[in-house]
Structure formats: structure tokens, C-alpha cells
Structure 1
Amino acid sequence: MNIVVLGIDLGKTLCSLVGLDREGAVVLRRRIRRASLTAFVEKQSHCIIGMEACCGAHHLARQFDSLGHNVRLMPPEYVKPYVKSHKNDDRDAEAIAEAATRPTMRFVPIKSEEQLDVQTLHRARERLVGTRTALINQLRGVLFDRGIVIARGRPKLSLWLRENLPDNTLLTARMRQLVDDMVDELHSLDHRIKQLDQEFEALAKSDQRARLLRSVPGIGALNATALAAAVGDVSAFAKGRDFAAWLGLVPRQITTGGKPRLSGISKRGSTYMRVLLIHGARAALPYLARMDTQLDAWLQALLKRAKRNVVVVALANKLARIAWAVMSNQRPYEAAMASKG
């Protein structure tokens, strides 16, 4: 049995395997426990191993790569067209094996343990921020039910809690205790988020690529570490537009009345990284619009004909292109080169 391509449909406990020979014919169909998968692959001669880029795939990909196999990870949406009717695990594995042989297929770079560690820290911080936001909204709702109206925004809530909560008589004793507990929980979340921010700051200083990215306006420690961890080989992107499209920041082109026009961005790729770049662009826009550079002229002209939120997203696209140029050239950002990104 000469297996040239091995497609693996990963599951939590059971995995489906399909092996193809040089002619593309199926020579192996098997279901195997995930715990025994590495031992099975180790016995096979060097071949192409295709898997979907899902949870746990990068860990197995590193193991298979160390055994000498050519591992190819693919986005699940790119594998779906190769699945035959009556979908099941076996047909999924066969589709993965077939997709792995396509010359135009786009493969996902295998992430190292360090990259996955940084991405996990970002997910943990995102969860904490979401919990904090939900807690703030609940706290404002509890107070609103007692006739206490607090304007939106964390600073205004903090100011009211500091100045009015100690002497407030609109809350019952039990509600006062509940609000105190929620405030203590809020302070605890703030402390944990601050600790993660300090860790990201240290990571951004120790990583060379993150240090270069921080030279770009609107990219701080969070953006720099997230981009550095997500991007493996930057040469996989031929130009800055490809990198921006990978982040989902390139507008879609539609035709209306026979005339092409630009619509909203594609929103492909990582939502988290796209949000970080857009928020970074929003914070950097007032500063960049005052600079005496070609980027300033471009922003001023764009602000005259487009809404501010549209300009923010366009600037995020521009910053993504600049970030690609910085990583590709291994040089910090220079304002005079902004128009060449």
C-alpha cells in the first residue's frame, strides 16, 4: 500500500483517514482513535498529509512535520467544495485528501507553540473584557431600576460610584451589598486585564517583529503581538493588498447599473485582529490627519468626501499595508514612505 496523500478528518476521539495513491485512487479508509493517530502516521512512508485548520490541528501538524511528512493545513471553507453528497466523516477525509493536492489551494502556515501561546493570551483578555463590559451594563441596569441614571461610559460610572455610592439612600441594604460585590468584581477584572496588558507590553518589547510593528501609528502592544503571532511567513503575501484582504479589510467591488463601485469590506479572516486595527486607526486618525505627510493629504481629502467611520476603516486598510511592508522589509515605519505601502 503506497500512500502518497493522506487526508485526516480530525475529531475529538475518533479520526477518519483516507489514503490516495499516485493516481488519486483511494487505497485506505480507516477510523482510528486520536490517541493512536501519531503512532499510525509514524509507520507510514513520507507523504502529503492534509488536515483542516481546526482546534488541535497545529499541534498534530508539528508532530507530523517532525516525522518528515509534508503537512498541509487548509481552511474548512476551502475544503467544502470537494465534499460529495451525503456528507460524513469518511467523505470529509476524502475531500481533505483531494483538496490537499490542488495546485491553487491556499494553505494555512503551521503555528509554533509560542504563537499559539500569544493567541491564547489574547483570547483570555478578550473574554475578560467581554465579562467586564457585561458587568458594567448590568450594574448600570441595577442602578437604573432604582432611579439612578448614569451616562454611558466607564469613566462616568466610576465617578458616580466614587462620589455618590457611599451616601446613597435609594438602594436597600441588600441591593447595596450586591452593588458592592459587583464593584469588587469589577476591580478584580480590571486588575487581571491590567496584568495581561503588562505581559503584552513585555512581549512586544522582546519580539523583534512586534517592535517593528509598534513603529506604525495606531499599532500598540496589543495589535503588534496579535499580528506577530498570527502571521507566520510574511512572504506568503505578495503585496500589502493581499495582507489587508487576508484581514478582511479590502472593500468588495459590486456592479450597479453596469458601473462598478466599492461596497463594504469583505470581513474575512480574524475578526479580533480586524477590530484591533480599526480601533487603532480610530485612535490614530486625529494625530495622522495633522501630520505634514502624504498620508495626511490622503486623509484630509478622504475626510472631505466620506463619513468618518468609512475613513477609519480605510485608514485601517492602509495601516495593514504598512504593517506588511514593515514586516517584509524588516525596517521600522517612516512617515515619508506612507504612500508607498
Structure 2
Amino acid sequence: MNSIAVVSMDIHKRFSKAVAMSAEGEIVEEGRIAHGDHRLMQAYFSRFAPGTPVVMEATFNWPWVADLAEDSGLDPHLAHPPRLREYAKGLAKTDRKDAIFQGKLWLAKEVFPESYRAPAAVRQMRALFRLRLLWVRMRTMMKNNVHGQLLKLGLVLSQEATDLFSLKGRQVLAGLELKDEDRAELERKLSVIDSLSEHIQELDGEINAVLKQDEHAAILMSLPGIGQQIAYAILAEVGEFSRFPNGRALASYAGLLPVPRQSGGRERERRTTSGCNRFLKWAFLEAVSGATRSSRHFKSLHARVRARNRQRPGKARVAVARELAELAHLLVTRDVRYEERPMMPKHKQRTQSQTR
């Protein structure tokens, strides 16, 4: 099998189409490997020489295939799906043709759209963060459902308890005179909320343990608005800060860099792109409220951008989130913590500008 230069995999839900190619782009062999039994994939990978590149699209289920390839001594690589689709636009599409096209891109080297392959530890961090985010959203949805049920029954309890799910709020709910079926429905919802809260608390313990061992966590949490959960989210979604050449690249990956749209000499309003890491974007945007409350610098930045864009106040949030992303990259790569300098009073700023 020394003549094989690359193994290209087209991964699906129940099977993978594999094509082994020579350095000249000729098909040496091809096959279809069923999923469900990892031994089949291991047996297939064992036929190739150690270090043979294995390329695959970064679909949702790539990790187990890449891990088996790596365990077999092969060299797995991921192709970036959107860029791969751009290259293949207008071409005939079958499983076999997709695998062949992907392999030829790898052989061309300079045009292969390689994507970041997160290590197992980073993937585990991401899974933990995304699971917590899912449970928090489910709990919020269930709490809203409880509020909706009470409104349907004509009950408004905002004056009696600001938080219906606190200790005082639970006492108020327990004292309501409800029909048996309404009480049973309410208790089921409260049981789900309590169960989710317990699971979230367990995850918080695991997350805190990881943060104590990560040297970059304290640096991120020195930034205004970034607490434990957001710091963990950033660490999980970024993975390795060194893979970004600068903070601007990280902000672009997070979808916080407005993209120019120009045609026929006319430039349209710049907007952020949806083709980004939406979890990382959420993390930096989530930090904006805390940053503008606790930092004079970010409060001033938010006010300036909002004053220039009164019709689109969301631009101010994006501007603050972008600066947080760029600062996060700068601080982590330089291994220093954030320290905010006191702002100069306005009358001194005017005096200083006049003397220049």
C-alpha cells in the first residue's frame, strides 16, 4: 500500500465512502464501510501504512472516525465544509465523486480547505459547555411556561414575589388555590425545573475544577464582564489561541467583524456574518452587559458607538464584544492580566489636545 498518497472519506450517518488515491490522483481502491461496529473501520485503516493522510469533511460525526484513524497510526485532516462546497459548486454530486474531489484537493495541497481538528480534551470541554447551555435554555423555557400557566389562570404574582422560583416564590406558589389538575401540572413543571437545576449545579462543579487547572482562565476572568462560565465557554470554543495570528482573526472567527458588501461602486451597510462559531459569539456578546457596567472604558465605547448608530443600537454591543475578543487574544498570548487605566477627565483631554 506504499503507492497510496491519501485516503479520502465521505462520512454519512450510517456508512462512509472511502477512496484511496495515488500521488498522481489515480484511484487505487475504494470501499464502503458500515457504521455501528468500530472494528470494521479499524480493520480498514489497518491496511494502510503509518502516517498516511486521511481526509474527511468536518461533519457533525467526524470525531470518532478521525480518532480511529489516529489510533491506527494514520494522519487525519478535516476539510472546511463551506469552502469545500464553494470549490465543488457546479460539479456532479455523488458519494464517490465527493470523496474523489476531496482527495484531489488534498493532493493539490495549496487549495485544500483545512479546518481545525480540536483535540479530544477540547471536544470534551465543548460538549460540557454546550450541554450546560442546553439545560439552562430548557430551564428558562420551563420557567416561562410556568409564568404562562399562571397568566392563563388570571394570576399575577409579581407583587408578592419577584422570583417565583426562589424560596419565597415557592412558598407563594404552594399557597395558591388551584384545581387539582392545575396543581398537578404546576408541580410537574417545578419538578423538571428542580431536576435541571441539580444537573446544572453538577456541571458547574466540573467546570470550576477545569478552570482551576487552566492557566488561561484567570487571564480571561480579569477582563470586565467575563466570569467563570463565559471564560470556560471561550476556552472550550477557541481551543488553542495560537491558531489565530491576531485578535482580529479571533473576532472574525466569532462573527464579530463586520463584513463589507460593495457592488457597482455602492457600498452597503457592513454587518456581521452568520458563518461563524455561534457559541463563541454568544459568549462574547453575553459578556457585554457586565463589561459596560463594571468598566468605564467599555461603557464609554458602548456609548460612543451607540450615539453614532441610534437606529441600530445592536452595533454598540458588537463593538464591545469585538474589543473583548481582541483583548482576550492579546492577553492570553502575552500571558498578562487585564488592568484598566483610569480615564482622563474631559477637561484634561481638551487641554492636552490643544497643546499638541
* TM-score (structure 1 length as normaliser): 0.85
Choose 319-328 or 109-118, whichever is displaced more: 109-118
* Cα-to-partner distance string for 1:181-207 (whole Å, 9 max, x where unaligned): 322322222232223223222221211
Contact 2:105 2:111 in 1 (8 A): no
Structure 1 SS opposite 2:77 = strand
C-alpha deviation, 1:334, in angstroms = 3.2
Q: Is the alpha carbon distance of 1:165 and 1:223 closer, same or farther for their aligned partners in structure 2, counting shifts above 3 Å?
A: closer
Choose 95-104 or 310-319, whichever is displaced more: 95-104
2:76 corresponding residue in structure 1: 71
C-alpha deviation, 1:297, in angstroms = 4.9
2:46 aligned partner, one-letter code: E
RMSD between aligned residues: 2.7
* Residue of 211, 215, 230 corresponding to 1:204: 211
1:91 corresponding residue in structure 2: 97
* Cα-to-partner distance string for 1:65-107 (whole Å, 9 max, x where unaligned): 3544332112222222344744222122123213334414442
1:23 aligned partner, one-letter code: E
- 2:146 equivalent to 1:139: yes
- 2:309 equivalent to 1:306: yes
Q: Is the alpha carbon distance of 1:232 and 1:88 closer, same or farther for their aligned partners in structure 2, counting shifts above 3 Å?
A: same
Contact 1:213 1:327 in 2 (8 A): yes
Q: Distance in 1 between matches of 2:270 and 2:209?
A: 39
2:44 corresponding residue in structure 1: 40
Q: Where do residues 185-334 of structure 1 align in structure 2 (5 Å cutoff)?
A: 185-255=192-262, 258-260=265-267, 262-288=269-295, 290-291=296-297, 297-307=300-310, 308-334=313-339
Q: Distance in 2 between matches of 1:99 and 1:211?
A: 41
1:6 corresponding residue in structure 2: 7
| Identical amino acids, percent of aligned pairs | 25
* Cα-to-partner distance string for 1:225-257 (whole Å, 9 max, x where unaligned): 222223344332222111111111111212378
Q: Distance in 1 between matches of 2:17 and 2:33?
A: 6
1:335 corresponding residue in structure 2: 340
Q: Distance in 1 between matches of 2:65 and 2:31?
A: 18
1:339 corresponding residue in structure 2: none
Q: Distance in 2 between matches of 1:263 and 1:54?
A: 30
* TM-score (structure 2 length as normaliser): 0.82
Q: Distance in 1 between matches of 2:192 and 2:16?
A: 42
1:100 corresponding residue in structure 2: 106
Instruction: Give the total of aligned pairs.
Output: 330
Q: Distance in 2 between matches of 1:321 and 1:328?
A: 11
